[in-house]
Amino acid sequence: MEVNLIGFDSIGVRSMASAVYTDDVSIFIDPAVSLAPWRFSLRPHPREVKQLENVASKIHEAAKDVDMIIITHYHYDHHDPGRHVSIDIYNGKVVILKDPQNNINVSQRIRASRFIKLIRERAKKILVGDGREFTYGRTKIIISRPVPHGIDTRLGYVTEVLIDDGEYRIIHTSDVEGPVTFHAVDFILKNKPSLTIVDGPPTYLVGQHFTEEAVNKSISYLAEIISSLSNLVMVVDHHLLRDLTYRKFYDEVLKRCPGTKAKLMCAAEFMGMEPMLLEARRRELYSAESGSEKGE
Domains in the chain, CATH or no CATH each: 2-295 (3.60.15.10)
SS3 assignment, position 224: helix
Q: Give every strand in the sheet of 133-136, ordered side by side.
A: 133-136, 139-143, 161-164, 169-172, 195-198, 233-236, 263-265
Q: What is the DSSP letter of 15?
A: -
pLDDT digits (tens, 9 = 90+) for 42-62: 999 999 999 999 999 999 999
Supply the pTM of this predicted model.
Answer: 0.95
Indicate whether 258 pLDDT > 70.
yes
Contact of 50 with 43, CB cutoff 8 Å: no
Q: How far apart are CA 185 and CA 145, in angstroms?
A: 12
pLDDT digits (tens, 9 = 90+) for 143-179: 999 999 998 788 899 999 999 999 999 999 999 999 9
Give bridge partners of residue 143 from the DSSP assignment: 161
Residue ranges in the chain assigned as alpha helix (H): 46-63, 106-119, 182-191, 212-228, 246-255, 267-270, 282-295
Indicate whether 293 pLDDT > 60.
no
CA distances 188 to 91, 144, 238, Å, are: 32, 10, 18
Average pLDDT, the chain: 95
Give bridge partners of residue 95 from the DSSP assignment: 69, 126
Task: For the beta carbon of residue 249, count every other beta carbon within 10 angstroms.
Answer: 21
